[in-house]
Chains A and B, each alone.
Chain A
Amino acid sequence: MALTKADMAERLFEELGLNKREAKEMVETFFEEVRGALEKGEQVKLSGFGNFDLRDKNQRPGRNPKTGEEIPISARRVVTFRPGQKLKARVEAYAGSEQQ
């Protein structure tokens, strides 16, 4: 089952006793603050979890895969996520438990 914002709000309600409206708002604003920082060109570093980095890509030649027509792919800025050591280690442990 995929984790959703509703699950995260539910956890804040159960674990920290926020009311449901507060919990929902906190989850929403948490992701909005991260988006806002990235939008302003800031790297986001969440220790223990990972970093959201920005990469500027130059224009490069592309192709419409259907028609074969050449179209340039415009210069753009993209978000990349680099998981932190702690998260990587926890996820690797999952792979170990799968093999048993």
Chain B
Amino acid sequence: MTKSELIERLAAHQTQLSAKDVELVVKSLLEHMAQALARGDRIEIRGFGSFSLHFRAPRTGRNPKTGDAVTLAGKYVPHFKPGKELRDRVNASIQEN
């Protein structure tokens, strides 16, 4: 499912907002989530999961072409931990087969 398919499905399931409004909603929600992570905040959605930042320590990498050592600074990367309901539902779908 892509972002545009998500917008279509949400629009199909409700009557109050136009497809255009639903598109604005989805974009606003994703932008809000990205902004939260970009300022180092966690996101906690019960039944879905939580997003947080994990630190990657500085390390010495290599330029694969020249073999030269390159110093890579530490950085933060986004991390998602699925919540219990999401874990259970995703796993139940395979157990039935």
Contact = CB atoms under 8 A, between A and B. Distances in A.
B87 A12 contact: no
Interface in A48-93: 48-50, 52, 54, 56, 75-81, 83, 86-88, 90-93
B: interface residue count bin: 35 or more
B23 to A, nearest CB: 11
Nearest to A37: B1
A30 B89 contact: no
A2 B43 contact: yes
Contacts of B48: 31, 34-35
A93 B38 contact: yes
Contacts of B22: 26
Given A3-B44, A16-B28, A83 B78 contact: yes
Interface of A: 1-5, 7-8, 11-12, 15-16, 18, 22, 25-27, 29-31, 33-35, 37-50, 52, 54, 56, 75-81, 83, 86-88, 90-95, 98
The 5 closest A-B pairs by CB, nearest first: A81-B80, A3-B36, A77-B94, A2-B42, A90-B38
18 contacts: A2-B43, A2-B50, A3-B42, A11-B32, A22-B16, A27-B29, A30-B29, A31-B47, A45-B3, A46-B30, A49-B30, A77-B90, A78-B91, A81-B78, A88-B77, A95-B55, A95-B73, A95-B76
